[in-house]
Homo-oligomer: A and B are copies of this chain.
Amino acid sequence: MAKEIHSIQGIEFGSASSNTRYGEREDSLVVTIPSEAKLSGKFTSNQLKAAPVLEAMHNLSSLEKGRKVLLINAGNANAANGPKGIKDVKKYCREVASDLDIDQKNVIPFSTGVIGEALPVSSYLKAFRKALTKLTPKGWNKAAEAILTTDTKPKIVSKEVKVGKASYLITGFAKGSGMIRPDFATLLSFVFVDAKLNQSALNKIHNQALKVSFEAITVDGDTSPNDSSLLVANGNNKKMVKAGSLAEKKITLAIIETFKELAELLVKDAEGASKLIKVQVSKAKNLEQAKSVGFTVAESPLVKTAMFGSDANWGRILSAIGRDNTVEDLSGLQIKLNGLPLVKKGYKDPKYSEKAASKAMKKREITIEIILGSGKHEFEVITSDLSEDYVLINSDYRS
């Protein structure tokens, strides 16, 4: 949790309860965004796209002038509901647009929750209307809470970037118990920047940030129909941030850092997770290989259960690397765990100490360094361990 949450000028929040899945807990969030803002949205790569995702993609590609409104509901994914799902989401967007007298394209919906259950449209619409009566620029913490499903805590990150006399603020919040439960705990992320950026710069920064954050974390490799990430520049900070300027560089780095911190918060709160594991692959022949090896190791149930059991089982890490289909040669391979040598030249490092490795494994944060060979590329994947609780949570019956 960030120490100080910076409000972002022009951004306002309101939340209310739909009185559906979560009783009186507020589960419906409205965010209003000023007309001068720019928005960049990125969505799930899953072919199964929830109705609000399809609607949001469509609307973002054809925004009209004027202020924008985000409608976010937790508890129902409105995914796999066929034409009825589309009709339902359009209904509450249309009604809110009409209430506010804005173009319907400027109303952008997001959902998270159970797949395949009909959306209780009127309940959520009622909640959104109530939320609109409570708009406040100070509602960041409540907003971060309203979008949660199985998460155990809100995730919010806030930063200030100083460039000479100018100051740029960034605040974002996200939810998702690690993308591991797509029928319940989808990834949603909203990051706001107090700066004037043009659309193409914003898109570029968004892509850069996603590559090393939400696209570099995994709990079980499962994605959801609802995964959505929105990056908003409020447009308020006097002068346009120039391409290639120091300000642009510093803002970009801070946005990337915000995304990375949010991603780590998600993994830390992943269902059943007891450890945060960073798989750092280096000296790969290309980025593809670095990513591929990183994800193969990070998603190996054998590696993940060994981590849960605090077993420095280097044989499983080695074996997972060996089965990755980008790997052709293990003769230059080194593996380290929290700095301790495990593997050298493809087999047990002579300096390996079972005692030291066992001690290192007791930590809550584990870094596995995989030095592949003589290439120049690197990538880091962040994941959690695989615990009995993961199985318990996910084998629980839906209803």
Contact = CB atoms under 8 A, between A and B. Distances in A.
A36 to B, nearest CB: 37
Interface string A208-239: 00000000000011111100000000000000
Contact of A115 (B222, B318, B398): B318
A315 B346 contact: no
Instruction: Point out which of A77, A115, A181, A314 has the most chain B C-beta atoms below 10 A from its C-beta.
Output: A115
Nearest to A222: B302
B306 A346 contact: no
B80 A183 contact: no
Contact of A311 (B320, B330, B395): B395
A167 to B, nearest CB: 41
A346 B221 contact: no
Contacts of A392: 388
A383 to B, nearest CB: 12
A387 interface: yes
A306 B48 contact: no
B323 A47 contact: yes
Nearest to A83: B347
A101 to B, nearest CB: 34
A324 to B, nearest CB: 8
Interface string A360-399: 0000000000000000000000000011101110111111
B321 A183 contact: no
Interface of A: 45-49, 77, 79-82, 85, 114-116, 180-183, 220-225, 299-302, 305-306, 308-311, 313-316, 318-323, 327-330, 343, 345-348, 354, 386-388, 390-392, 394-399
For the complex of A and B, list the 3 residue pairs with the smallest distance between their C-beta atoms, beginning with the closest: A309-B395, A115-B315, A48-B322
11 contacts: A45-B323, A46-B322, A77-B315, A80-B347, A115-B316, A223-B319, A308-B391, A313-B398, A387-B395, A388-B391, A391-B391
